[in-house]
Chain A
Amino acid sequence: MADALVLEDLTKVFSKPAVDHLNLRVRAGELYALLGPNGAGKTTTLRMVAGLLKPTSGSIRVFGVDALAEPAAAKQMIAWAPDEPMLYDRLNPMEYLEFVSGLWGVDPKEGRARAETLLKLLGLWDQRGQRCEAFSRGMKQKAALAGALIHDPKMLILDEPLTGLDAAVSRQVKDLLLERVAGGATVILTTHILEVAERMADRIGIIQNGRLLAEGTLTELRERAGEREGTLEDVFLELTGEAEAITA
């Protein structure tokens, strides 16, 4: 399987290193969950991949494209959805999707057709003419997700995509992501809901202090942690050393 994302010695230093010589490979067509305690460097890593932060050092390759040398080519294949939906309160969802289509150079006719499909799929069709300012958190999250999907990205990067969503919307989003993966897209997400990673992810990476602590399938991580029967939560706490802190 080809690599969708390759990070080599990726480093970002603010006042101290947030990401510290991180090496990571995500295969094409897999759903990769990036886990870690608060402040581990997950969001900083993903923001660098999305082209929003310039690394201090290291390299980022997206489907073989050097994202630092050719950012536009890399961004063309990526969609970034942060935990806070990137929406314009004063646009309605249809206008928003048309705008995002324009940003990614989608043909306007094609963009409108995709927008219609996505809004119907996500249950926002009846609200297509309403401004986003009146939307609930779940509706905003869905509209932002539609924006992330409008240009049919090869790689979706989502930071805490399920935070604050009710069960129905959460299921809808999870189904949509799995559907995309089945269709050949690569999905990288961060989440603090470990059950989600446990059920959905093909592989899981755990980072702490900006470094990759462990990586693999759930079975591989269990072996690594010596927790043959444990849940991902047990494995995560064992690997990050937080289990000791809890029992101490």
Chain B
Amino acid sequence: MIGRPGSTLWLLSHEIRLSWRGLIGGRRGRIRMIAFGVLAVGFGVAGVPIALALRGVDMPVNPLSILAADFVCTMVFTLMLSQTLAGAADALYARGDLDLLFSSPLDPRKTLTVRFASLAGTAFTAFALLVLPVLIPLAIFGHWRWLSLLLVLGALALGASGAGLAVSVGMFALIGPKRTRAAAQILAAIIGAAFFLASQVRTIFGERSTSMWLQLLALANDPRLRLPPQAAWPLQAALGDPAPLAVMLAVGSGIFFVVTAWLSRRFAADAASAQGADAGLRRVSRGAAGAFTGGVFAATFVKEMRLLTRDIALLAQVLLRVLYLLPVTFLLLRSAAGHEAFALPGGAAAITFMAGQVGASLTWITVSAEETPELLQCAPASAARVRNAKLLAALAPLALLLAGPLAIITAAAPAAGLAAAAGATAAAYAAGLINAWYPTPGKRSDFLRRRRSGSILVGLAYFFVSALIAAATGLAAALLPWALIPAVLAVVALLVLRRSPARIAEALAAAQS
């Protein structure tokens, strides 16, 4: 560890050590490192030709490049803000070491400053790794001043961390500690997707679809455009102009240090109260008496439905995973309403794929995130009945979600609606079966992190089976017999993936050990 024990540098090196071990540790650490190496080599190979092509070329500072730089900076900032906002919520709830750190004589503000600096570091590293393979060859072949792009990224990361901290503390004040984690994660996902959704607004409302680049080009060529001098600062800073670079660094680090200094004491108190609040009792509405008396299937189904409906934040997190598919769905509904039958097959396929993704998430919650697996295993009940009840409970909210869109499609084009309904059911059920065959036990509260801990192969299986069923649905909606090919392939894939109850039990025991 670097630095004097207890110093800021020492704490920072502790954070870096934990992050590094998190990255390389575990069964997937080696795979991650190999994948990272392959990506780095790939980017490096692509970076050298780009650097050679740009050798001796000066970046023009004109309205188009200024707008492009501003756009990219804003997008990077929102993505970093999304990352740091989710990280701030994690810092409060997920990391179990705050008790240790806050019970030590170290100033909690120092601890939190380091924690937030490491958040900024994580946000910076993610983007720096993307640009470095191109930036290094560019620097070697003459554009060494462009390395200041790294400083611009650093300034953006510091600013985003400060803003994330401020938003988290504000949410604590407004909605209390219990709801802040879920709300912060939802907000983080919305902010992360904001640019994409905003770019689709015109498409959704029926205007002609144009790429962001063409929109920027049109704006840059607009003779009425008058850009203030400050608009050029991000570009000039990235190109190594000292004054704008200094301003960006000052603003980024200023936001970070001012917010950290002002709010970290408050944040420390919030963190403590968040943990204390976990012990609080939550009043729930009483369900109907005798709801659990209809046998194993009914009891399991009712239990799962109650758990799902009592955790609205978790349901919201599930739905956020398909935020990116919303524009496609809107487009589909618009096409259906306008009787544009040609647009329906793609939309039906998109709905099917979305159903597969949401189904995978919901069935993970009901099947893998079972809080008392041994209770169910000990019960004199058929494992298949319990599993089917769980699958049905997971698919019920999905059916509600899709009922409206499917009804609209069916009204416009009955065959396409039927295909979409069948496809969505099949994709969701298939995802549920894969979950049941390849359980990855975890806590419901770890829903957002499970993607990092689950098997890559199972993730690929979800994706390919959903994609195959979606393709079959799209082709069926277009009344093409070719639909049979992906449908059969999906069935074959499921037969290959299928596991016996004994093997599932073995895998479960191995995963839990």
Contacts and interface: CB of A to CB of B under 8 A. Distances in A.
A52 interface: yes
Nearest to A84: B96
Interface in B15-34: 17-18, 21-22, 25
Contacts of B103: 50-52, 75, 78-80
Given A53-B272, A53-B273, A80-B99, A102 B5 contact: yes
B10 interface: yes
Interface string B97-136: 1011111111100000000000000000000000000000
A54 interface: yes
Nearest to B273: A53
B276 A14 contact: yes
Contacts of B100: 86, 100, 103, 147
Interface centre among A43, A54, A131 (most CB of B within 10 A): A54
Interface string A81-121: 01010101011000000111111111010010000000000
Nearest to A15: B280
Nearest to A75: B105
A18 B276 CA distance: 10
Nearest to B5: A102
B1 interface: yes
Given A52-B102, A54-B269, A76-B105, A101 B277 contact: no
B11 to A, nearest CB: 9
Contacts of B269: 54
A183 B18 CA distance: 36
A90 B22 contact: yes
Interface centre among B97, B105, B272 (most CB of A within 10 A): B105
A71 B101 CA distance: 13
Contacts of B22: 90
A208 interface: no
Given A43-B279, A44-B276, A53-B272, A90 B18 contact: yes
Contacts of A104: 104-105
Nearest to A157: B103
B5 A52 contact: no
A43 B97 CA distance: 17
A47 interface: yes
A53 B107 contact: no
Contact of B21 (A12, A43, A90): A90
Contacts of A53: 272-273, 276
Interface centre among B100, B269, B276 (most CB of A within 10 A): B100
B275 interface: yes
A222 B99 CA distance: 36
A73 B104 CA distance: 10
A90 B104 CA distance: 20
B339 interface: no
A171 to B, nearest CB: 26
A76 B103 CA distance: 9
B99 A99 contact: no
Contact of B5 (A71, A76, A101): A101
Contacts of B97: 86, 88
Contacts of B99: 50, 52, 80, 82, 86
Nearest to A78: B103
Interface string B272-307: 110111011000000000000000000000000000
B27 to A, nearest CB: 12
Interface string A47-78: 10011111000000000000000011101101
Nearest to B271: A52
B14 interface: yes
B96 A86 contact: yes
Interface centre among B1, B5, B18, B102 (most CB of A within 10 A): B5
A80 B99 CA distance: 9
Contact of B105 (A44, A105, A147): A105
B371 to A, nearest CB: 17
Contacts of A54: 269, 272-273
B404 interface: no
A103 B276 contact: no
B157 to A, nearest CB: 24
B280 A14 contact: yes
B6 interface: yes
Contact of A72 (B5, B25, B105): B105
Contacts of A111: 5
A148 B275 CA distance: 20
Contacts of B105: 71-73, 75-76, 103-105
A100 B106 CA distance: 11
Contacts of B10: 102
Nearest to A144: B100
Nearest to A50: B103
Contacts of B21: 90-91
A78 B99 CA distance: 13
Nearest to A105: B6
24 contacts: A12-B276, A14-B277, A18-B276, A44-B276, A51-B103, A52-B103, A54-B269, A72-B105, A72-B106, A73-B105, A79-B103, A82-B99, A86-B96, A86-B100, A88-B18, A98-B1, A99-B14, A100-B100, A100-B104, A103-B100, A103-B101, A105-B5, A106-B5, A108-B5
Interface of A: 12, 14-15, 18, 43-44, 47, 50-54, 71-73, 75-76, 78-80, 82, 84, 86, 88, 90-91, 98-106, 108, 111, 131, 147
Interface of B: 1, 5-6, 10, 14, 17-18, 21-22, 25, 96-97, 99-107, 269, 272-273, 275-277, 279-280
Given A52-B275, A53-B272, 20 more contacts: A14-B273, A14-B276, A14-B280, A44-B279, A47-B276, A51-B103, A53-B276, A54-B272, A72-B106, A72-B107, A79-B103, A80-B103, A90-B22, A99-B14, A102-B10, A103-B106, A105-B105, A106-B5, A108-B5, A131-B25
